Amino acid sequence: MNAEFVHSALQQLADPADAAHAQRYFKTGPGQYGEGDRFLGIRVPVLRRLVPRFVGAGLPVLLELLHSPWHEERLFALLLMTTRFARGSDQEQAAVYAHYLANTQWINNWDLVDCSAHAIVGAFLERRDRTVLRDLAVSPSLWERRIAIIATLHFIRRHDFADCLAVAGLLLHDRHDLIHKAAGWMLREVGKRDQAAAEVFLRAHCRVMPRTMLRYAIERLPQAARMAYLQGRIEPLPSPPS
């Protein structure tokens, strides 16, 4: 199985109407975050249903697909990489992880990051040093910064919040709305599992957090609490006695 075989199969599923919608939805115009991206017009559920058929494709094939100018081919490559990682030996997982971080310039839209960062980067780092997340969080690349925060979803689901809170702290002054949304989303995920842990972070930083980040983080709180945060009426929690 080679990349051209997969490419031909995906081309047969292309829908020009869906492609035109996706070009607008993913902000592909001049100066927008997805500038120049090209779409075949294949919906995500369709791609997911194809994964079992092509799961045997080798890593070189997946990397060739990841370098495709077509968005859905890059997305499909990442869906296959996450499946390969989940089923792989330690050696195979290390190879997927290394190639993932070596090719972040192709993981260049929010959906591509969101379907893969926690499943590959987060999962690989579960029992390893996580310093790389701090490095990614201060990267000039928008997508590497998003990878840093989305990767922490793997830990959050295991009630391990320290890395999410640390990375969110590094992103407090980020200028991009896609980072504000991602960080707020992850903080909300922390709050679902441990509102007290989220509350410490929110109380300390709500006055300097980007508005979008704050709104996403407090979305599930009661209205009175949300308004208190948005109006800056929430006081930081007192420091524990030394």
> DSSP character for 70?
B
Asked whether the beta carbons of 70 and 93 are under 8 A apart, the reply is: no
pLDDT at 239 over 80: no
- What pLDDT is stored for residue 241 in this prediction? 52
Q: What is the mean pLDDT of residues 202-223?
A: 95
Q: Are 72 and 40 in contact, with CB atoms under 8 Å apart?
A: yes
- Tokens representing 7? 């490419």
- Of 190, 178, 197, 188, which Cα lies nearest the Cα of 219? 188
Mean pLDDT of 14-32: 92
CA proximity to 5, closest of 42, 41, 75, 56:
56
Residue spans of alpha helices (H) in the chain: 3-11, 16-25, 44-54, 59-66, 71-87, 90-102, 110-114, 117, 123-125, 131-137, 142-151, 153-156, 162-170, 177-193, 195-205, 211-217, 223-230
**Quick count: other Cβ atoms within 10 Å of Cβ 73?**
23
pLDDT band at residue 62 under the 50/70/90 scheme: very high
Task: Tell me how far apart the alpha carbons of residues 204 and 162 are, in angstroms, rounded to a whole number.
Answer: 15
Predicted TM-score of the model (pTM): 0.94
pLDDT of residue 3: 87
pLDDT of residue 237: 67
**142 SS3 class:** helix
Is the distance from CB of 186 to CB of 164 less than 8 angstroms?
yes
Rounded mean pLDDT of the chain? 94
CB distance 146 to 110 below 8 Å: yes
- At residue 147 the predicted structure's pLDDT band, cuts being 50, 70 and 90, is very high
